[in-house]
């Protein structure tokens, strides 16, 4: 897992934390970087939600502008809500979804500190067992998969869906997402 507060392009391999993959209730770091100034990302318990409850092998957290914008489009107040889309081929990149399914991704309200999202993320996951992502209002998205390949595919397909939903919202005829 990446360290907290380090610009992504400046992270070196030796700056990465190794997490405990055996005891998933412990949320434990098993190897820390030599640089003691580095702290593990505050996303740690959120990632363990996916490791533990969904048997995820990899989790991606993104602050993509399209993810942030789509939460603002759906929930201008930042309250919990649901992103929905339908009719896009890229939905096929999501586990178990076809292009004619209606995709529903939960949006949870943001909290002052990232770790405070742990419970509401877990509840949203339980309420939406058919999707591998949780949006956070004004913040971004957590996406996971059985391995990094599936996590990356799902992250890329979701970002496409967020983007086209945001961009089609500006259509004069008001095409529905």
Q: Which residues are catalytic?
A: 89
Nearest to 127 by CA among 105, 99, 158: 105
Q: CB under 8 A: which stretch of 28-36, 50-58, 121-129, 148-156 binds a second copy?
A: 148-156
CA distances from 15 to 1, 58, 79, 98, 142 (A): 9, 18, 35, 39, 22
Q: Given the structure tokens 């909290």, which residue do they identify?
A: 111
CA distances from 79 to 106, 138, 145, 151 (A): 11, 10, 26, 26
Q: Which of 12, 87, 116, 119 binds a second copy (CB under 8 A)?
A: 87
Q: Where are the alpha helices (DSSP H) in 1-61?
A: 44-54
Tell whether residue 102 is a contact of a second copy (CB under 8 A).
no
Q: Which of 78, 95, 118, 146 binds a second copy (CB under 8 A)?
A: 78
Least Å distance, CB 54 to a second copy, is 21
Tell whether residue 168 is a contact of a second copy (CB under 8 A).
yes
List residues binding a second copy (CB under 8 A). 7, 63, 65, 68-69, 72-73, 76, 78, 87-90, 98-100, 110, 112, 136-140, 149, 152-153, 160, 163-164, 166-176
């Amino acid at each position: 897992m990446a360290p907290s507060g380090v610009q992504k392009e400046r992270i070196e391999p030796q700056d990465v934390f190794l997490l405990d993959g055996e005891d998933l209730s412990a949320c434990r770091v098993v190897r820390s970087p030599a640089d003691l100034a580095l702290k593990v990302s505050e996303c740690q318990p959120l990632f363990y939600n996916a490791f533990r409850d969904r048997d995820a092998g990899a989790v991606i957290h993104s602050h993509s502008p399209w993810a942030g914008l789509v939460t603002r489009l759906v929930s201008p107040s930042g309250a919990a809500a649901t992103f929905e889309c339908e009719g896009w081929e890229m939905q096929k990149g999501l586990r178990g979804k076809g292009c004619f399914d209606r995709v529903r991704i939960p949006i949870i309200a943001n909290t002052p500190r990232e770790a405070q999202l742990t419970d509401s993320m877990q509840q949203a996951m339980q309420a939406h067992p058919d999707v591998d992502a949780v949006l956070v209002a004004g913040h971004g998205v957590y996406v996971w998969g059985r391995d990094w390949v599936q996590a990356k595919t799902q992250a890329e397909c979701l970002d496409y869906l967020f983007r086209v939903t945001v961009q089609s919202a500006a259509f004069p005829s008001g095409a529905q997402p």
